[in-house]
Structure 1
Amino acid sequence: MADIKGSAVPILHFRGCDAKGMRLAAVTIRPDGAPAPGPVEAGAETVAPVLLARVAGLSVWRHDFHLAPGDAGYRLDGRDHAVVTRLDGDIRFAFVSCNGEENGDLDRDSAERNLMWAQLRADHARAPFALLLQGGDQIYADEATRGQPLSEDWPERVPESPSSADLADLVRHLEDRFAQRYMMVLAAEACAGLFAGVPSLSVWDDHDICDGWGSLPESCTESAVGQALFGVARRMYLLFQHGATDADVPALFADPTGSSLGWRRDLPGVTLFAPDLRSERRRQRVMGPGGWAAVETMQPAGDHVFMVSSVPLLGPRLSLLETLMMAVPRMQHYEDDLRDQWQSHAHRDEWRRMLGQILRMRKTAPVTILSGEIHLATRAEMGPHDTLIHQLVASGISHRAPPKGYARALGLFAGLGEAPLPGHPIRIRPLPGQKHRYVAERNFLTLERAGGRWQAVWHLEESGPTPPLLLD
């Protein structure tokens, strides 16, 4: 049974907008045997909970409801939760990624681990957010495989023919370990009230499964143990990050088959979309047919498009670094990390294909890419000016930053530039108010539309908020 302290209640998920207003789902997680939550009172609606799943000693309940523009929020179990319901004027979003660490994350001091979450909550109290965008690695599940014979040495050793009984035991072990990590995140004191009042939209990345998923050898990922790991990670991602099960996939994701879990949501004046860069990933590809069909048929409807790419789309010449490192035997164990990037030799054609799709969308409206993954804060531009595309990277809401020397060295390397599409050079730029291209501090990003214009501010652990960057 997952080791939890209290309950996670509630977690709000953004489903979209329609004629009645915002469509929302509130998820409540309680120990098995605990009473069900009461009804949600939202405007004129009173909605009873539905039992979504039982897993790892937990019962997961969901309320589906609407909030009309001007509604103050909703009431559940005697407590009022304020929600921003007017989305057609001045609004604010928050963007976070990399909420954890590979080793020892469960044992970290909560106040230290969640320091930036506490700052985000304080910023929400000052000026409420309408949405919380989570860009990948919401948990770090890398140690979830430990303590079970089939997966103890994953991925270095992969059992060839495990029995059905042993695989079933592995699934139970993984469900418990994944649930434990999700509960640590969702019930954190620093996040109290934030998840209940700010609807989330999430996309996953490798640590939500295991480090390097899809860039590891396929003898690992396609094995019985690998598929058991992916299956549990996927169910837990749907349940804890979307308040959903497989039955909800056709309504929530762009690929109704569920092969790809990319999504799109439209708000007044805004199109948000996130391709799934993990479900169909292999060593020789980033996305499969389901993912590409969703991207290539998408027609933006808003005045501004925000793309969430769990791995930065605009980056330096990592293919050159990949070539150099693979020539040095001691550095070859970094191959999976480099293959994870769009700029890898293995993915260059797909990278150009995606950049071409972003340029297609840019003809309709300005496009801003939001990304995480690298545990640093930075930004990039691809242009000329008349088709300029911004990329904003905010990575490390709780993952401690790498050494500043690493960030400086990467900044020097980024000075070489990159131009995968002729006439559209990519440039890595310093954040507003910063001298260097990469900032090695924990951080999160806020996005604000005021008077019809979007701007972005990075919130850095040591340096504080940056001056605003206009996204015209």
Structure 2
Amino acid sequence: MAEHHHDPLLDDEDEARNPYASANRWRHQESSSFARAAVARDPHSAGADTKDLSNFLNSARVEGERPPTNGTGNFQPIVIGGSDGATEGDDGREIVCGPLLNYRRMEGNIWHGSVLIVTRGGGKTQTFQPSLHIGRVEVARSQQGLVHEGDDVNGATNGNGTLVSNHGTDVQGVCLYSDPRCTFWSFAISCDMAETETKWAYSIADVRYKSQTQAPTSYFFIPAVNESMRIMFHSCNGFSVGTDEEAWSGLALWNDVLRSHAQAPFHVMIGGGDQIYNDGIRVHGPLREWTDIGNPKKRRDFPFPESLRQACDDYYLKNYIRWYSNEPFATANGQIPQLNIWDDHDIIDGFGSYVNEFMKCDVFRGIGGTAHKYYMLFQHHLAPPASTYTTDAPETMEHNPAQDQAQLLNTFVRPQGPWDASYIVGSKPGPYVAEHSMNIFTQLGARIAFMGIDARTERTRHQVNYPETYDLIFNRVRQELGAAASAGRPFRHLILLLGIPIAYPRLTWLENVFSSPLIAPIKFLNRRFGFGGGVFNHFDGSVDLLDDLDDHYTARTHKKERNTLVERLQTVCAEFSVRLTILGGDVHLAALGRFYSNPNLHIPTEADHRYMVNVVSSAIVNKPPPSAIANLLSSRNKIHHLNADTDETLMSLFDKDPGNSTKTMGSNHVTMPSRNYAILTENSPNNQAVTNGNGAVANGEANGETNGETTGNKFDGKDGHAFLHAGEDGAGTQHKAASFTTHGKGNDGSLDCCIRVEIDQHDKEGKTEPYGLTIPVLNYEAGKFGSNAKHGIGLRHHRSRPDTRASTIAPSTAMSAPEPSH
């Protein structure tokens, strides 16, 4: 890397200002003008034209302008590389970001994770190697089950009577990357799991923190060896440009996350993409000059030299340090183990979904490589590639590039070793990011498996992932589920993480408007004279928001791939009798979609391998869209037919608006335009039976009978606009999954799901209203209700017509169900 001169990167900054937010304030958020247009005219109604929508697009889619810890220390200097590249005055002991805690995997009774810190200064030679001290704390719980605070990692009895372990271990830091600006240290930690939930404490020796609020000791929790993890899920963790952050109380909902964590500790924090918004690189950052080029061809042919690469590198590093140091997000980062998959805003808005010839331009490939570098470091605690794309070094412009000595000047990059066992690495690099996709399979405690699909690295306008990548993922899933079943410890739930919802209302009508031949003359005028500049994006000249629509699995270009993916998941669920739950964000709304068997098949949900809930939780920080958008999506909540046997729709989850607000119209119970996050907890079979006030057993599917023929008869034949099983009956604020006292306290193996929705955007405490439902376990009996494919000529004729086109995915098991028209 070229030599880095002094940069204000690590100096004190005005924390109230956000110079690095998303460049496009219209990423899933619209104005009052659109609200008026949406109310005045429904674009889907008979005879509706696009005038109101065009007026909205033309007028509204524009941008807005510490003291040392008590661990052990005093190590001899270690030499990582050749010459000394440390900046004078930096001793390598000041932590400018972190600690960040990650979860990786379980092996037997051992929990594996990592801690990351970023220290000021560095180079090829390090004069200080940090050490992390970690030990288990034996936690005494009060009668209410709340965890006592104030524990000491080195061993004592605190004022609350908590017994603290005197045993612990020291872990030496491993340098992942270092240049004169900063150094990334990773600590691999392994913890023994016990018969009960355990609390662990860690501290880092002989360092000082730039943050004045960072505690010297951090704590986290690990579930009992025979229990599953309590899961927190979030997405869209940043602000768009033009958003009044004070009006939205900053990162208020992270206060609610920490309150929930104090009541019942989260064992894992799943990031569904857009953990950071880097779009500001083209508004306030080094790509502003490039973005201002009016001619798309000149913009496409613009080079990405070393000077621009280094400026972009500085931007991404600085933005990550600033954002990951923001409270209360920073506190959560050090206390709740993270598990992340990236999406477009982690790079730049719409990355991968613009036209191919533009996506292959030097600037996009350059920032793709740079963003990937810091995604690997901050979000996965892994060493990055030695060099990233630049037009000054042709060897970096190829896949699997050679080392660029200009980038490695006064810089150390740890050689990439074998991948951690939790990763499923794509077989070939992505088309625009010259790196392999990083998919994840891991275990979330005793009975929950997790599969995260990297749906950004391989993405183009016409594909989400390579067919070969799907094969790698499904082969691994079958291997892991089969091994668990053979060992007598089968997984009962499989969590699938996708960056974008897969069960969501269709927006084909809007795609048709943007793709209409009527748009072509306006595009020509835009290219030649800049006409309609607010309508067209600054990259490839396409209609803005079209990249957002092309991102969706329900877009026409991804329809075949999506349908085959869902059918392939159905086969896995049937094969291993495992219930699939999908997590997705991106759309800045709370919702709950689901797939399920055609009611004419009369399959009880508890035996339905096609029943898959898509928990849509977004955004935890960014501004939600106005109510008109949520209401419009609600009006498009039709019952769709994925194939002859599978229906899909959103569920009525929101029985009321949060607090005393009136955010949505009275008929909208399926989309909620408020910031939110989700909690999922297993109703463990090890739990003691909980009784209600009448002495009756209240199990995981409270609010109705839960098994046998009673449930099947009560809900048999109802479509997706009704409740399909007992766990959906009474869904909302009064459901047992919405209450802290009963959430996850059942014992039938089901999952309690709660979406916590912000009540008041001006409340800096981030208080929320909970909405709950229960997802049943799957008890699949092969052949009892028919096969995975066809169920009769009459049904197929009535519901669909055959589609003989080839599938986008090459599944290991052929899918024979025809694809219907929609």
Q: CA deviation at 1:195?
A: 1.3
- 8 Å CA contact 2:499, 2:585 repeated in 1: yes
Q: CA deviation at 1:48?
A: 0.6
Three-state SS of the structure 1 residue aligned to 2:201 is: strand
Q: Once structures 1 and 2 are overlaid, which stretch shifts more, 239-248 or 204-213?
A: 239-248
Give distance in 2, aligned partners of 1:285 and 1:249.
Answer: 28
> Which structure shows the bigger proportion of residues in strand conformation?
1
- 8 Å CA contact 1:150, 1:225 repeated in 2: no
Three-state SS of the structure 2 residue aligned to 1:278 is: coil
Distance 1:344 1:90, change over 3 A: closer
Q: CA deviation at 1:155?
A: 9.3
Three-state SS of the structure 2 residue aligned to 1:420 is: strand
Three-state SS of the structure 2 residue aligned to 1:227 is: helix
2:118 is aligned with 1:29: yes
Query: 1:250 maps to what in 2?
Result: 419
- 8 Å CA contact 2:589, 2:619 repeated in 1: yes
Q: CA deviation at 1:295?
A: 3.0
2:175 is aligned with 1:47: no
- 8 Å CA contact 1:304, 1:367 repeated in 2: yes
- TM (norm. structure 1) is 0.92
Give distance in 2, aligned partners of 1:248 and 1:182.
Answer: 25
Q: Once structures 1 and 2 are overlaid, which stretch shifts more, 272-281 or 70-79?
A: 70-79
Q: CA deviation at 1:450?
A: 2.8
Three-state SS of the structure 1 residue aligned to 2:354 is: coil
2:675 to 437, 442, 445: 442
**Deviations 1:25-60 (CA, angstroms, capped at 9, x unpaired):** 100112215965333334553211011112682211
Give distance in 2, aligned partners of 1:377 and 1:212.
Answer: 21
- 1:117-266 matches, within 5 Å, as 117-146=254-283, 147-148=285-286, 152-153=290-291, 157=296, 159=299, 167-246=305-384, 247=416, 250-251=419-420, 252-255=422-425, 257=427, 259-266=436-443
Letter of the structure 1 residue corresponding to residue 552 of structure 2: Q
Q: CA deviation at 1:245?
A: 2.0
Query: 1:418 maps to what in 2?
Result: 640
Give distance in 2, aligned partners of 1:56 and 1:220.
Answer: 34
Query: 1:307 maps to what in 2?
Result: 496
Q: CA deviation at 1:111?
A: 8.3
- 8 Å CA contact 1:371, 1:392 repeated in 2: yes
Query: 2:584 maps to what in 1?
Result: 371
Query: 2:570 maps to what in 1?
Result: 359
**Deviations 1:215-265 (CA, angstroms, capped at 9, x unpaired):** 111222211111111101111111111111242673242026552211111
2:318 is aligned with 1:14: no
**Deviations 1:323-344 (CA, angstroms, capped at 9, x unpaired):** 2443363874332111111111
User: Deviation above 6 Å: which 4+ runs of structure 1?
Assistant: none
Three-state SS of the structure 2 residue aligned to 1:83 is: strand
> Which structure shows the bigger proportion of residues in helix conformation?
1
Distance 1:131 1:309, change over 3 A: same
- 8 Å CA contact 2:619, 2:675 repeated in 1: yes
Distance 1:46 1:290, change over 3 A: farther
Q: CA deviation at 1:151?
A: 6.1
Query: 1:396 maps to what in 2?
Result: 619
- Which one scores higher on RCO, CA 8 angstroms, separation ≥ 6? 1
Three-state SS of the structure 1 residue aligned to 2:305 is: helix
- 8 Å CA contact 1:432, 1:469 repeated in 2: no
Give distance in 2, aligned partners of 1:38 and 1:142.
Answer: 35
Distance 1:262 1:154, change over 3 A: farther
Q: CA deviation at 1:317?
A: 2.1
Give distance in 2, aligned partners of 1:142 and 1:355.
Answer: 31
Query: 1:458 maps to what in 2?
Result: 755
Q: CA deviation at 1:3?
A: 4.3
Letter of the structure 2 residue corresponding to residue 119 of structure 1: D
Unaligned runs of 5+ in 2: 1-6, 13-94, 137-167, 206-215, 385-415, 428-434, 482-490, 523-534, 536-542, 598-604, 657-667, 685-748, 761-767, 777-822
Give distance in 2, aligned partners of 1:173 and 1:316.
Answer: 40
Letter of the structure 2 residue corresponding to residue 470 of structure 1: T
Letter of the structure 2 residue corresponding to residue 307 of structure 1: L
- 8 Å CA contact 1:56, 1:176 repeated in 2: no
Give distance in 2, aligned partners of 1:427 and 1:194.
Answer: 34
Give distance in 2, aligned partners of 1:75 and 1:380.
Answer: 40
Letter of the structure 1 residue corresponding to residue 560 of structure 2: D
Q: CA deviation at 1:75?
A: 2.0
- 8 Å CA contact 2:626, 2:673 repeated in 1: yes
Give distance in 2, aligned partners of 1:303 and 1:407.
Answer: 34
Distance 1:159 1:323, change over 3 A: closer
Give distance in 2, aligned partners of 1:310 and 1:54.
Answer: 30
- 8 Å CA contact 2:655, 2:669 repeated in 1: no
Distance 1:314 1:399, change over 3 A: same
Give distance in 1, aligned partners of 2:585 and 2:116.
Answer: 26
Q: Once structures 1 and 2 are overlaid, which stretch shifts more, 187-196 or 81-90?
A: 81-90
Distance 1:275 1:90, change over 3 A: closer
**Deviations 1:131-189 (CA, angstroms, capped at 9, x unpaired):** 000000111111113443686308974545556xx521122111221122222221112
2:66 is aligned with 1:66: no
Distance 1:323 1:408, change over 3 A: same
Q: Once structures 1 and 2 are overlaid, which stretch shifts more, 128-137 or 180-189?
A: 180-189
- 8 Å CA contact 2:131, 2:170 repeated in 1: no
Distance 1:24 1:380, change over 3 A: same
- 8 Å CA contact 1:93, 1:446 repeated in 2: yes
- TM (norm. structure 2) is 0.54
Query: 2:663 maps to what in 1?
Result: none
Letter of the structure 2 residue corresponding to residue 368 of structure 1: T
Pairs aligned (count):
468
Q: CA deviation at 1:440?
A: 0.4
Q: CA deviation at 1:426?
A: 0.6
2:563 is aligned with 1:341: no
- 8 Å CA contact 2:10, 2:120 repeated in 1: no
RMSD: 2.6
Q: CA deviation at 1:447?
A: 0.9
Q: Once structures 1 and 2 are overlaid, which stretch shifts more, 128-137 or 240-249?
A: 240-249
1:294 to 464, 472, 497: 472
Query: 1:116 maps to what in 2?
Result: 253
Q: CA deviation at 1:366?
A: 0.5
Q: Once structures 1 and 2 are overlaid, which stretch shifts more, 259-268 or 224-233?
A: 259-268
Letter of the structure 1 residue corresponding to residue 641 of structure 2: A
- 8 Å CA contact 1:135, 1:309 repeated in 2: yes
Letter of the structure 1 residue corresponding to residue 593 of structure 2: A
Give distance in 1, aligned partners of 2:426 and 2:593.
Answer: 33
Give distance in 2, aligned partners of 1:160 and 1:468.
Answer: 48
Give distance in 2, aligned partners of 1:469 and 1:245.
Answer: 40
Q: CA deviation at 1:110?
A: 11
1:471 to 759, 775, 778: 775
Q: CA deviation at 1:210?
A: 1.0
Give distance in 1, aligned partners of 2:338 and 2:492.
Answer: 21
Letter of the structure 2 residue corresponding to residue 7 of structure 1: V
Q: Which is greater in Rg?
A: 2
Distance 1:150 1:109, change over 3 A: closer
Q: CA deviation at 1:208?
A: 0.7
Q: CA deviation at 1:15?
A: 1.1
